[in-house]
Each structure stands twice: as structure tokens, then as C-alpha cells.
Amino acid sequence: MKFTPIKVRGKKGARKQAWKPPNPEQFKRKRAQEEEDDEMEEGQENNNESHQPQRRRRRVKTKKPAALIEQLPVEILERIFLMSENLNFPRSSLRIGYFLSHASFLSELIVDAFTPTWDLWFGCPKWQIQSYHGYAEDHARIGGNPNFQTTVLACRWMNISLILNAQQIWYRRHGRGRCFEHREDWLSGGDGCVEDDEPPPVGPHVVGEGGFDHGRNVMDCFEADWGSFRNMELDFYLLFGYLEHREMHKAGYFDMHPLTRIPSHLLTGTLLDLDKAKWLYWCVRGGAQLSPDQTWELTKRGYERIMALEDAELAKQFLCLFAILDVFGGKHWPQFLIDEKLDEVKQHSPLSPSPSLPNSRRKLWTAAWFFLHPRYRNPDRSWNLSRLYD
């Protein structure tokens, strides 16, 4: 029995062998042996009575170990994401992006982004709100982060179904005892005063009768509003009355912060369909605005795609929403562009009946002619209601 060697600090051990280059003949022999074994296996398989097809060797892909943050529970990752308000967080890792891509969590993200705003005046028409003078322009005191809301609305996974589902979730949690008045004529914006036979203005946390706890579904109320808007004849008094009430902050609802911007792809007309129209309608009704970087070049492209739509009725809805946003006003479109598009509209002669032009298409060009014609504008390019039918 040999003694156990003891390593003495500072004392050198056995001399190591010098490095030698590998022998190429050894690798050749090993490779030849492997090829010979493969040939023997193939011969045995060919002689097999079953004649089963040869299986290819599958390359085993090693799984990359997860980082420490990827090993956290999904609940903690969701809280980190919501509290950071950074939509680039799911892009940092494929695993994290997979964990945070479920439809239920996306609804929770919308609820978290819009809860501070919904908690104030959810379901209350603006014209019924009574607060201190200039409350609508006091953006610092209105709940919600407009940049975060704008970023969430601009996500590629966003759609109108997720938005309405998020509103229903919020109302089920926090809407009891609050006003949720359903008004299909939200475009009118009220008359600005309270008559004897009208309900009193509502407050954000006042419990009473009328629109409180009506038990209606958010989706049903929205579909009723959208159906009323879509089936409405082109009442220009109503539309331009809404423009006036919109400037006075009396029309629509506080579904989002006043500084929240409309997603650009809804204005450029990319892949226009019914869901995009409902989405833009929800944004306009909720008080979204155009951002300074959304220039007339962007809305010009959207207008051209709208007028090229095969569905004239759907195109008319988009056109009316553009008019409500005052896209065709002097503050957004320059005069030369209005004149250019007006000449294009005149070529179709929308006001003279043409047998070759369908009725729905004629209504579309008539609406475009009305929105662009300078006869119905003041010198400062504001709408002149007294000259509508001269």
C-alpha cells in the first residue's frame, strides 16, 4: 500500500510532460473505424426482412440555460413589466416575451395603463361634468400617463376587442356605484346647459339614479353607439356641432388622457377594415388627438386610401372621423392640398346625379366635397354653420 501524497505549499510536484502535437494517423484510424461500423449497420438493415427505412441521426440541440431574471415566476415578471411601463421589456428575451404575450395579460396591461383615467370620469359624458373652470385643460391633474397610453395603443397586437374587454374588466372590478351613462347621441355634446326635465350633472363618485349600475355590457353599449353612428345619415349640423363642442370639451367621454395620441397606422389607412374603423371611432369618441409629428403628409396618404376603398359605406365612416378630428381644417391641411383634392372631387361631379356612379359612392364624394369646399369656411378656416345650405 502506497502512502497518500501530500501537497506541500511552495514545493514543485512531478515534472509535467511536454506538449506534443496530435498524431494525425490516430484520427484517420478512428474515422475509418467509424465508417466501417456505419457500413456494417447499413448492411444489417438492408438484410432485415422488414425493410424498414433508415432513420437519420437527429442532431440534438442543446438548450440555452435561462438567465436569472427568466427564472422568476410569471406573476413577478408581470408586476415588473406593469410597474416599469417599458414596452421594450418583453423584447429583451424570447422567454420573457413568450410569458408576457398571453391575451389575458395584454388586457391587464390595457387596464393598468388606462385605470388612472377611467377612475376619474369613466362613463360620464363630458357635457354633464361640472368641475372647476378650465379643468379639461389642466392636463397635469388628469390621471394617466399619456405617453404610456399612446405607446400601448400603438402596439401591433392591439385591437378593439382587447380594448373593450379591458374596459369590461375594469368596470366589473371598480365600476359598481359609479355612473355609466349610455348615450348614442354623444356627437351632439348636449346643449351646454341643464334644463328642468334633464338629469342633473354627474360627479365622479356620486351615487344616485339614472346611469348608475345599469348592468349593461361595455361591448353592447359600444356596438349600439357604433351602429347609431354608422347608420346615421350625413348630418353636417351634427358633425360640425361636434367640432364646436369638441373645442369646448363638451362632447365624447374621458376614455383616455387628453394628450393621448391616435396611432399613426389608423391615419395612414394601412389595411383598412371594420375593426380599424371601430378602433378609430373609439379613439375619437374617447378624446384622442393628432400629435404634432402626425403631419398632413401622413393624413393625405390615409385620405387617398380611404377614397380608394371598395366599401363606400366604410370609407364614409373613416371620412367622417377624419372630419371630426379636423384633418381638413386649416391648422392641419395646407391650402394647396385642399385645392388639389377639391379639384379631384369636382371631376366626379358628386352633386349631379350620374347613372354610372352608385348611390353609396356618390354619397362618399359628396361628403368629401363638403368637407373640402372653402365656401363653407370663414376666412380663418373655421366652420361656418350659417352658410351650410346656401
DSSP assignment of 109-132 equals HHHHHHHHHHHHHTT--GGGB--S
Q: How confident is the model at residue 232 (pLDDT cuts 50, 70, 90)?
A: low
At residue 238, does pLDDT exceed 90?
no
Q: Which residue has the higher pLDDT, 77 or 271?
A: 77
Specify the range with the lowest mean pLDDT, choosing from 60-64, 132-136, 225-229: 60-64
> What residue numbers bound the domain in which 320 lies?
295-390
* Residue 340 maps to a domain: yes
Question: Given this model, what pLDDT does residue 153 score?
Answer: 93
3-state secondary structure of 202: strand
* Residue 364 maps to a domain: yes
Q: Calculate mean pLDDT across residues 115-140.
A: 74
* Residue 342 maps to a domain: yes
The label of the residue with cell 350620374 reads 354
* Residue 317 maps to a domain: yes
Question: Given this model, what pLDDT does residue 106 score?
Answer: 93
Q: Which residue has the higher pLDDT, 10 or 71?
A: 71
* Residue 234 maps to a domain: no
What is the C-alpha separation between 292 and 311, in angstroms, rounded? 30
* % of the chain with per-residue pLDDT over 90: 14
Q: How confident is the model at residue 271 (pLDDT cuts 50, 70, 90)?
A: confident
Question: Given this model, what pLDDT does residue 25 score?
Answer: 78
Question: Given this model, what pLDDT does residue 20 score?
Answer: 77
At residue 261, does pLDDT exceed 80?
yes
Contacts 24+ apart (CB under 8 A), 359-365: 360/312, 360/313, 360/316, 361/312, 363/234, 363/312, 363/316, 364/307, 364/312, 364/315, 364/316, 364/319
For residue 257, CA distances in Å to 72, 116, 171, 246, 260 come to: 33, 9, 18, 14, 5
At residue 119, does pLDDT exceed 90?
no
Neighbours of 281 (CB within 10 A): 22
Q: Calculate mean pLDDT across residues 295-299.
A: 90
Q: Calculate mean pLDDT across residues 319-344.
A: 84
For the chain, helix (H) and strand (E) counts, in that order, are 13, 0
* % of the chain with per-residue pLDDT over 70: 67
Question: Given this model, what pLDDT does residue 109 score?
Answer: 94
Find all residues with CB under 8 Å of 318, minimum gap 6, and list them: 269, 272, 277, 280, 302, 306, 309
Neighbours of 160 (CB within 10 A): 20
* Residue 368 maps to a domain: yes
At residue 275, does pLDDT exceed 60?
yes
Q: How confident is the model at residue 158 (pLDDT cuts 50, 70, 90)?
A: very high
Q: Which residue has the higher pLDDT, 155 or 360?
A: 155
Do the Cβ atoms of 279 and 163 come closer than 8 Å? yes
User: Would you tell me the crossing angle of helices 218-230 and 274-286 to the nearest 10 degrees?
Assistant: 100
Q: How confident is the model at residue 349 (pLDDT cuts 50, 70, 90)?
A: low
Q: How confident is the model at residue 332 (pLDDT cuts 50, 70, 90)?
A: confident
Burial of 245 (0-12, 13-18, 19+ CB in 10 A): buried
At residue 209, does pLDDT exceed 50?
no
- What value, to the nearest 5°, has the Cα angle with vertex 381 and ends 379 and 385? 95
| Dihedral of alpha carbons 260, 299, 277, 372, sign | positive
Q: Calculate mean pLDDT across residues 199-221.
A: 54
Do the Cβ atoms of 295 and 337 come closer than 8 Å? no
Do the Cβ atoms of 246 and 283 come closer than 8 Å? no
What is the C-alpha separation between 298 and 259, in angstroms, rounded? 19
* Per-residue model confidence as pLDDT tens digits over 27-78: 777 777 777 766 665 565 555 555 555 555 555 555 677 788 888 898 999 9
Q: How confident is the model at residue 14 (pLDDT cuts 50, 70, 90)?
A: low
DSSP state of 354: -
What is the C-alpha separation between 144 and 112, in angstroms, rounded? 9
Mean pLDDT of the chain: 75
Radius of gyration of the chain from Cα atoms?
A: 33
* Residue 312 maps to a domain: yes
pTM above 0.75, yes or no: no
Q: Residue-wise over 218-239: b if at least 16 C-beta within 10 A, else e?
A: beebbeebbeebbeeeeebeeb
Please count the structural domains in the chain: 1
* Residue 217 maps to a domain: no
Please provide residue 39's backbone torsions phi and psi, each rounded to the nearest 5 degrees.
-65, -40
At residue 126, does pLDDT exceed 50?
yes
At residue 22, does pLDDT exceed 70?
yes
Specify the range with the lowest mean pLDDT, choosing from 33-47, 231-245, 356-370: 231-245
For residue 309, CA distances in Å to 228, 314, 319, 338, 349 come to: 22, 8, 11, 20, 18
Q: How confident is the model at residue 166 (pLDDT cuts 50, 70, 90)?
A: very high
Question: Given this model, what pLDDT does residue 159 score?
Answer: 92
